[in-house]
Chain A
Amino acid sequence: EAGVTQFPSHSVIEKGQTVTLRCDPISGHDNLYWYRRVMGKEIKFLLHFVKESKQDESGMPNNRFLAERTGGTYSTLKVQPAELEDSGVYFCASSQVGHRYNEQFFGPGTRLTVL
């Protein structure tokens, strides 16, 4: 069974540019999450989808971030325009629907560098 995949693995962009990160969850996982780790600090929650619906987006930093999950399959996270403080590693995770104790499986992350 394929795990959570993320694309690209690395992205280097200039301040003010736009970047789109993609996450493909484990097949059949209705729950999809985005997290971010900045400069070796804690991993912070960004948002949670259940299928195509945003269940919780309390962690989204500001309106420069837009997450979508059309059709309830893969998800994209767009940053527009990117700022220096957006640099970090963006992780996607997925879990089966049902109990919140269901394990969240993480992808390898996308390392974003904004210059």
Chain B
Amino acid sequence: DQQVKQNSPSLSVQEGRISILNCDYTNSMFDYFLWYKKYPAEGPTFLISISSIKDKNEDGRFTVFLNKSAKHLSLHIVPSQPGDSAVYFCAASTSNDYKLSFGAGTTVTVRA
């Protein structure tokens, strides 16, 4: 009953180009969405979030887009840098609780 899905396990992008990561969800009660970034042997760290009352949130090189009707969100990284190479997790929560539901992650590799 995985409610958050990241269908692309990996993404390879050239340095300086755009990285686009996708995430789909099934639970219509989700109203808060987050992206976490994880390096090997470390825990996930918060990257950016978006509330369901918005359709876009931007923070520097990172922009998250939310399409509620399609139950889809995406993360854009522009321009991609070598330090962006990591696993990116999409996560969501409902208004009823604090727990996060995560996707399986997308491994991003930025090529020089």
Contacts and interface: CB of A to CB of B under 8 A. Distances in A.
A108 B41 contact: yes
Interface string A48-74: 100000011011000000000000000
A31 B97 CA distance: 12
A45 B101 contact: yes
B98 A100 contact: yes
Interface in B1-29: 2, 4
A101 B49 contact: yes
A95 B43 contact: no
Contacts, number: 64
A108 B42 contact: yes
B43 A59 contact: no
Nearest to B32: A101
A95 B46 CA distance: 12
Interface residues of A, number: 27
A93 B43 contact: yes
Interface of B: 2, 4, 32, 36, 41-46, 49, 51, 89, 91, 93, 95, 97-105
Interface of A: 4, 31, 33, 35, 40-45, 48, 55-56, 58-59, 91, 93, 95, 100-101, 103-109
Pick the 7 closest A-B CB pairs, nearest first.
A106-B43, A43-B102, A45-B99, A42-B104, A100-B98, A106-B44, A42-B102
23 contacts: A4-B43, A33-B98, A40-B105, A42-B102, A42-B105, A43-B100, A43-B102, A44-B102, A45-B100, A48-B98, A48-B99, A56-B97, A56-B99, A58-B99, A91-B43, A93-B43, A100-B97, A103-B46, A104-B98, A105-B43, A106-B36, A107-B43, A108-B41
